[in-house]
Structure 1
Amino acid sequence: MAAAPEPGVHILVDGDACPVKEEIYKVARRYAVPVRVVTNSYYRVPAEPLITKVVVGAGFDEVDDWIAEAAGARSIVVTADILLADRCVKVGSVVLGPTGRPFDAASIGNAVATRALMADLRAMDQTSGGPPPFSKTDRSRFLSALDQAIVRLRRTIA
């Protein structure tokens, strides 16, 4: 049985294409950390008090805007969107990619630059394909990173 949630500590999920939602729910239950899955489409989330679905409009960047406005120093944000990660890092959030890759002040600048470079290469037809397939190793790395992020965040808040 999970402990009572700690005030303010929460997980915000960029939910439209997140491959690790079940892993997030599993870790959140263990630590009794509330989760908000933010999306601009309707789909099911577990009917549990700790898990909330937030559906925003379908406009460009509405999910990102909602998450960026809700994020703060007591937030763990899960996203593969580099520009959203950048916005959340700037307000002090802990930010993880779905593969467990952490984004922080030291790494986000390089990630934004790489994203821009890849966009330019795609525009010039100099690259094809996308990221490698999501693997069991990615899933495991994410579980470990989320677990560590919750523990670290709780220590800094205590």
Structure 2
Amino acid sequence: MRLQLVVLALAGLLGGPALAAERYDDPKALVSAIYAEYQPGAHASAPNSFYSQRLQALYEQAVENNVFADDAAVNGEAFVATQIFNPFMPDVSALLFDLSIGEPTISGDRAMVNVSYHNFDQLRLLSIAAVREADGWKVDDVAAMGSDEHWLLSWALTYDPLGF
């Protein structure tokens, strides 16, 4: 019985990201799928399940380098994956409204999609760079463009000594 519970738990953990690994034939469909997961009653996948091969490699290197270390890690407590920064919804809690996903600007196998939304009373402006890979469009970078928050995900994963 105990073994069955462990197998079911592992299947649930492995199945979550696998469900998000769908093929998206255009960049707007990709971004729409990402934000559909932040609507009431939806279950959000791990953000990196939408990443390109390049961004996934940067993410894995950041995990290996403990970029996501926080006060808990400094105090010797265990790292908790749920504490990893989510570039699509960088706030701890979410009440998303006024979501606007712009039309993508496409140049060959690269695209840019602008996203704006309010989380509670905070306006968020993001630009999501996408790249077409063999299995469809994937997120290749995310930039925050708001008035009080500016960051580029790939830079932060590579060079930010303080992490998120």
TM norm structure 1: 0.30
More strand by share: 2
Whose radius of gyration is greater, 1 or 2? Answer: 2
